[in-house]
Structure formats: structure tokens, C-alpha cells
Structure 1
Amino acid sequence: MSRARPAQTREPGEIFGPRMTLFADVLGVGLATTVACLPLLTAPAALSTACAVLRAAGEDQPATTGRYFALLRQRLRRGDLPAGALALAGALLLAADLALAGAGLPGAPLFAAAAAAIGACATVTALRACARPASLTNWRTALHEAAHDAARDLGGSALILLAVVTAALCAWMLVPLAFLTPGPLALALTAVDVRRAGVRGRGPREAGVPGG
């Protein structure tokens, strides 16, 4: 009986293996996400679509830029612009708060620490909402699920913060990398959400959590 071809083995005539192909697809999706984020208000929809495309890659569907833009055109709806406006307003408010804290106001260190903590929690929740499948149809449901997961899955939330910091450092060290970082960031968000979905699917006893 012949053995099945390992996933790492290349087909005849294939230059790169599946892992390198997936890496190239992630970078391509990242560049497409950057382009889709340029209007700023479309940023949540763009990142949500990237997560959906990468999630489908785990089901042997192509993770190409063509499929990304096709899905983005299909899912754009009125709720995406208010979500983008809310995200942009939150980012500007956080930047303004940190700028005021850096101006030497009384109690600035404590205020800066509180603003940073609130900003980190809001960022994690917003990013986890983009990774939720519900974000394709209903942002309110996605945010509710993301807030629940952010509180219950502290390890996953820490991984998301680490991914954000890594992406920011890469963009700071080499500016052209900023155009590619949304792809790996979306991959990290999707991986955390898939991991969390697996824990939910197994239930508390199978996941090793004491049940009631």
C-alpha cells in the first residue's frame, strides 16, 4: 500500500513547498490588507476579511489576493464604516491622552499608565473581534464574543499584544515592512481565535478545566 504524500513534500515541478507557499500568500494578503486600509474607515473590514481568508486556508481554500478582494467586495456593508469610525476615534483619543500625559501634567505617570492599560484592553478586544467569523456579518456580536474571549483567554490576549508589538517594531525598524505586517498580524489573530474555538468546542472537562 502506498503512503500518502507528506504535506512538506513538493509536487513534481513545484519550486517551493506548501509552507513557503503559505508564507508568500500571507504576505500577499498582508499587502492587500494594507491597500484596503488606506481609507482608514475600512480598516476593521479589511483586517476581518484577511482573517476570514486565512481561516479558510486551513480548510484547503486558496489564500490569494484575488480571493481576498472578492470576499471584501461581498462583505462590505453599512456597519463597516461606523466600526471604522469608532476604531479611528479610539486610536486618536488614546494618542491625544498619551500626548497630554507626556506634557508634564500633574499625575501624568499614573494617567499614562491607566490610559495605556485601557488602550491595550480595547486594542485586544477590537483585534479579537476582527478575527471572529461573526465580524463578517455583525460587528456587535463579534465585539461581544471578543470581549468574552479576551477576559477568559488571557494567554491568547497576551499573544495578540505580543504580535502587535512585534509588528510595530518591524515597521519601525524597516518602514517598507509596514506594508506587509497586516498579513502576519491577521495570521496571529486567526490562530488565537481558532485555538480558542477548539477549547470551546471540547468543553470544560475535555479542555482540562474543572467543570461545575
Structure 2
Amino acid sequence: MTHAPTASHRDRREPGEVFGPSFSLFADVLLVGLLTTAACLPVVTAPAAFAAASATLRQSACHGLPVSAGTYVGHLRAHLTARVLAAGCVPPLLAPVLLIDAALLRSSLPGTAVLLPVLALLTLGATVVGLRATALETPHRLSAREGFLRSVADPRGTLLLAGAVLLSVLLAWSIPLLTPLLPGPLAFAATAVELRSPAG
């Protein structure tokens, strides 16, 4: 005797729900993206903003709790520690160095054909390590060292996250209007990689 297939709990729609859980996830990621962009405006708060985004999405994925601005703000406040704010000072300090190096490498100096890709790979690698650090399930603290170790221990996840970063850069370059939404998918990708990581 065969039974008609039944929808799983995650596929069922609640009474009055129009779009279903897949659209809800899409909306949650966009909301988190906008909140993260707003929280990143002071620049030094960027690590805390991405950590709050990851914590909010992790809480929703693991415990089924709804994503809301209040939940995000609560996680953001918890991550705004002196150590995290100090870590947020690193990218603004390194950005001028990278820009100067990139300008020098675009000149006719010897070896630029090799050094320019190396600089790009180092920047991509640092971004991936930073994202993995913000996605760690370590309440209210970040660890670049742990992010690096996780990146090395899970090369497949690291490559997936690097692809997400490159895609985000491409989207920001080709469709600038999408830029405020991109932190959401990046945080989602980092959280998903961390949740599936064998090192977790």
C-alpha cells in the first residue's frame, strides 16, 4: 500500500502564509543585510555587525526563532565590546596600504604581473578568514586565529565562502544598488559554511 507524499514540517505553510518558508528565508537574509549595512556605517563596528548577523541567522536556523530587528540589535549590543571594536580598526588602517600597493602595482614596476594577483589573493583570504571568525559560535568575542584555523581545516567551506565573496564583489561592481543588501547573503554564507563545517 502506497502513501501519498506529505510535505515536511519546513515545507508546510502556516495558515494565512502566502509565500512559504523559502521566501521567508529570503526576506530574513535581506533584512539582516540592511541591518548589517546600517551597523557597519561607523566602520569600526563592522566585525560586530557581521557577528550579530551570523548569530541572528544561526539562532533562526538552529532554534527556529524569527529574525527581527530587535533580535539583531540585541546581538549587536552584546558584540560591541572593546576587543571587537579594536578588531574593527584593523581594516580601515590596512585599506590605505592596500590602495597604495595596488596603485604601485598598476605602474610599470617589474614583477607587477605576479604581485598583483598575490595581493588580490591575500585580500580575498583575509576577507574569508574575517567572515569565518564572525560566524564562530563564540558568544560576544571574535578570534582571527580561530577563523584562520577553521579556514585551513575546512578548505571546501573556505572555497565556497571565497566564491560568495567574489560573487558579492561582482554584484556590487555591476549593480551598485544591491550593495546595501550584500552583507546579508555574505553573513548567511559564512554561517552556513560554519554550520556544515566538519571542524565544528
TM-score, scaled to structure 1: 0.85
Write the distance in 1 (CA, Å) between the matches of 2:119 and 2:33. 29
Is 1:60 equivalent to 2:59 in the alignment?
A: no
- Which residues of structure 1 form unaligned runs of 5+? 202-212
Tell me the secondary structure at the aligned position of residue 133 of structure 1. Answer: coil
Tell me the secondary structure at the aligned position of residue 157 of structure 2. Answer: helix
- Which residues of structure 2 form unaligned runs of 5+? 1-5
Write the distance in 2 (CA, Å) between the matches of 1:96 and 1:137. 34
| Runs of at least 4 residues off by over 6 Å | none
Written as runs of structure 1 = structure 2, the 5 A alignment for 1:119-158 is: 119-134=123-138, 136-139=139-142, 142-158=143-159
Written as runs of structure 1 = structure 2, the 5 A alignment for 1:38-77 is: 38-58=41-61, 59-77=63-81
Write the distance in 1 (CA, Å) between the matches of 2:25 and 2:70. 15
Cα shift readout 1:119-171 (whole Å, capped 9, x = no counterpart): 2222221111111122x4332xx222211111121111111111011111112
Q: Which residue of 1 aligns with 2:166?
A: 165
Is 3-12 or 65-74 further displaced after alignment?
Answer: 3-12
Written as runs of structure 1 = structure 2, the 5 A alignment for 1:75-114 is: 75-114=79-118
Write the distance in 2 (CA, Å) between the matches of 1:102 and 1:194. 40
Tell me the secondary structure at the aligned position of residue 199 of structure 2. Answer: helix
Is 1:187 equivalent to 2:188 in the alignment?
A: yes
Write the distance in 2 (CA, Å) between the matches of 1:157 and 1:181. 18
Look up the equivalent residue of 2:25 and give its one-letter code.
Answer: L
Q: Percent identity?
A: 41
Is 1:11 equivalent to 2:14 in the alignment?
A: yes
